[in-house]
Structure 1
Amino acid sequence: MLVGVAIIDEGVNFLDERLKSCNSYEEVDICLEKDDFIIPNENYLKAHGTNVASVIHYIEPKCKLISIRLKSKQRINVGLLIQALLYCAEREDIRIINISLGFLYDIFPSDLSSACDICVLNGKIIVASAHPSNEKLCFPAAFENVYGVGTGLLHSPFDFTYLGDGYINILARGIHQRIISENGEYTIRGGTSYATASFTGILSKILIHFTFMDRHELREELRRLSIKSLSMHYPFSCDQHRNAFNFKLPDSGNLLVFPIDDLNVVDLFTHQRVKMIMSYPTDPNNHLSNIGRKSGKRVIQGLISVKLFDTVDTLVIGNYFKNHYLTNIYFGYQLISFFLKYNKKIVAVDPFICDLLNTNFELIRNLKSKLESINN
């Protein structure tokens, strides 16, 4: 049976070469303004939705893609999304609603919650992107009846991690995706938008084979198919315990501290056994680099080399998730993995990093040196 997937975005270019083999698709416009109007640079605006659609189609080419284009003279807003959800709720051929976008709120918008409730009551499965930042919740991903998707370190777009209840329920492949940029050229990017699309494709594949699976049965199937992976997100709960977290430096050894923007690490800049301070490989923070240099310590940009061990033998590592570049977060994992492989000492000055080392030791230790891009 054909599974209908609604892609709520700013449109999809179905003439894109990655979607030429898509035999079943439809385009619908959702607009709150009364007057008809022309949107300039439509392909530019459609780039994101087209990339999302191409990921879904790559994973499950048999599903029907329904582009629900949010059309507005101004920025996309919650009202448009609500209208799109209510439209999807009434269509019997739509089973999955992909929302690779979201809105940050301290208190959730009740109208948006109600629209999601109506969709779920009508048998729809909503899949929405979480935000890389943990400063505020991202909606609709944070609603209980929505699958909130984050980015995990997964090597295959066909794999995912089921986390269960909470803000982020699913980790999927969102890093190192080969997409088309707004200027029409291929590039490598990542983000929760593409992780969401990956999981939507996986759901489509499951539902094609198990058409009448209910929500409970689907959750059990997700648990069965889930594999372990490393999250690219810092959890909300750890922020509350950071200041009270106690750590102990070893009595001997030369220290490398990373990252340069974690205040728990900054406090160690002047420690006599700190020999190196490491910034991120991408977009290093010059202000903190200057603070590090004033301490008289050597500040280096993020790199991995055995020559590090000529100077240091212990990694002191803090929260490298504060910088939202996925390449920088991935580098943090790589750095830990590198020290583990050479049996060097590691001291975590952050509760989440400490928990990662305790619960995912082998997963981090065996981390590959790089991730291959998806050529879809």
Structure 2
Amino acid sequence: MKQVFLFYVILLTGFFIYIELAEFDTKETIVAIVDTGIDPTHPILEGHVEKGYDFFNWDGDAMDDHGHGTHVASIIHSVAPNAKLLPVKTLGQDGSGIGTSFIGIFYSVVKGADIVNLSMSEVSNPFTSWVIRWGERKGVVFVGASGNDGRTDRISFPASLGEVIAIGGYNTYREHLYENGNRSGDVEFLAPGVLIEGASLGGEVVRKTGTSFAAGSVSGMLAYFKEIQPHMTNDDARFLLRLTSFYEKDGYRVLELDRFLATQ
């Protein structure tokens, strides 16, 4: 255990030195998507995807071979078409990771991301907790999916962290909570999460269900807000989201995404 800890400390320190010495263009609103990567050749996303990094295979090609990240990215793009999408691949072809999410989040922050979308879950760990707290202090806004285990006592990590805006799913077809979405007092907002249309591999468009896609729409909303309010903090983001939401009967704030899109 000590050897693993030392390895990560050395790796993160070296990576920090490299990033601090590099120069990055951060003039536009950038949304980092820590996920399975993004397919930049999809017609919906072509020209909007920045060069990211693959922390699963450790190379510079963050191409999606699963489909989840591409779907999330297209949802963000549909809400904030001017935002640049930064693919940060930490999950593989089967959707599982190898413990490098915290490095991907660190990379997102130093690469200049304004918003980091975390439509993923992992075992709670101090590395991810620390890097998110560090990023939040630097003004980065984090959005996380509550998870799809149907739990009512807790939500998934890292959405459970106070620095992350935790998003649950809402079924707009039946006008109630998404049944399989994790929900507890830690969920701050609900967004559409059932049969959400988005880009898929091979240039296709499909519909998927889950809190991941609810989180994606919120990241898109915040990217749009960021263009209007460049110095937006986590507190500002929560305030702006409250202005575009209403209370659902179970006490959760539901974001009115359709009304928001109609005003653009």
Structure-1-length-normalised TM-score: 0.51
Q: Which residue of 1 aligns with 2:42?
A: 16
- Is residue 243 of structure 2 the alignment partner of residue 219 of structure 1? no
**Paired amino acid for 2:133:** D
Please give the alpha-carbon distance, in whole angstroms, between the structure 2 residues aligned to 1:48 and 1:75. Answer: 8
Quick one: which of 108, 113, 134 aligns to 1:88?
A: 108
Please give the alpha-carbon distance, in whole angstroms, between the structure 2 residues aligned to 1:168 and 1:61. Answer: 27
CA gap of 1:179–1:224, structure 2 versus 1, over 3 A, is closer
Question: Contact conserved, 2:90 with 2:98, CA < 8 A, in 1?
Answer: no
Q: Which residue of 2 aligns with 1:141?
A: 159
Cα displacement (A) at 1:127: 0.6
Q: Which residue of 2 aligns with 1:200?
A: 219
Please give the alpha-carbon distance, in whole angstroms, between the structure 2 residues aligned to 1:68 and 1:125. Answer: 16
SS of aligned partner of 1:193? helix
Cα displacement (A) at 1:223: 1.9
**Paired amino acid for 1:144:** G
Quick one: which of 55, 60, 64 aligns to 1:31?
A: 55
**Paired amino acid for 2:134:** I
Q: Which residue of 1 aligns with 2:139?
A: 123
Please give the alpha-carbon distance, in whole angstroms, between the structure 2 residues aligned to 1:59 and 1:74. Answer: 27
CA gap of 1:125–1:177, structure 2 versus 1, over 3 A, is same
Please give the alpha-carbon distance, in whole angstroms, between the structure 2 residues aligned to 1:201 and 1:194. Answer: 11
Please give the alpha-carbon distance, in whole angstroms, between the structure 2 residues aligned to 1:18 and 1:229. Answer: 32
- Is residue 33 of structure 2 the alignment partner of residue 7 of structure 1? yes
CA gap of 1:176–1:213, structure 2 versus 1, over 3 A, is same
1:179-228 CA-partner distances (Å, limit 9, x unpaired): 35567654332111110100000111111111123333333222222223
Please give the alpha-carbon distance, in whole angstroms, between the structure 1 residues aligned to 2:244 and 2:61. Answer: 45
Question: Contact conserved, 1:70 with 1:81, CA < 8 A, in 2?
Answer: yes
1:280-322 CA-partner distances (Å, limit 9, x unpaired): xxxxxxxxxxxxxxxxxxxxxxxxxxxxxxxxxxxxxxxxxxx
Quick one: which of 119, 122, 125 aligns to 1:109?
A: 125
Cα displacement (A) at 1:77: 3.2
Cα displacement (A) at 1:13: 0.7
Please give the alpha-carbon distance, in whole angstroms, between the structure 2 residues aligned to 1:191 and 1:224. Answer: 24
CA gap of 1:28–1:217, structure 2 versus 1, over 3 A, is closer
CA gap of 1:74–1:191, structure 2 versus 1, over 3 A, is closer
Instruction: Using the aligned pairs only, state the percent identity.
Output: 24
Cα displacement (A) at 1:25: 2.6
Cα displacement (A) at 1:51: 0.8
1:338-376 CA-partner distances (Å, limit 9, x unpaired): xxxxxxxxxxxxxxxxxx4xx79xx9xxxxxxxxxxxxx
SS of aligned partner of 1:171? strand
CA gap of 1:199–1:78, structure 2 versus 1, over 3 A, is farther
1:34-62 CA-partner distances (Å, limit 9, x unpaired): 7x6999xx6542x1111111111111101
Question: Contact conserved, 1:179 with 1:187, CA < 8 A, in 2?
Answer: yes
CA gap of 1:72–1:174, structure 2 versus 1, over 3 A, is closer
SS of aligned partner of 2:197? strand
Question: Contact conserved, 1:3 with 1:63, CA < 8 A, in 2?
Answer: yes
Q: Which residue of 2 aligns with 1:79?
A: 99
Pick which of 206-215 and 73-82 moved more.
73-82
Q: Where do 4+ consecutive residues of structure 1 move more than 6 Å? A: 36-39
For these two proteins, the number of residue pairs brought into alignment is 217
Segments of 5+ residues of structure 2 without an aligned counterpart are 1-26, 174-183, 255-264
Segments of 5+ residues of structure 1 without an aligned counterpart are 156-164, 231-355, 364-376
Q: Determine which structure has greater relative contact order: mean sequence separation of CA pairs < 8 Å that are 6+ residues apart, divided by chain length.
A: 2
Quick one: which of 159, 169, 173 aligns to 1:151?
A: 169
Cα displacement (A) at 1:98: 0.6
**Paired amino acid for 2:190:** L
Structure-2-length-normalised TM-score: 0.70
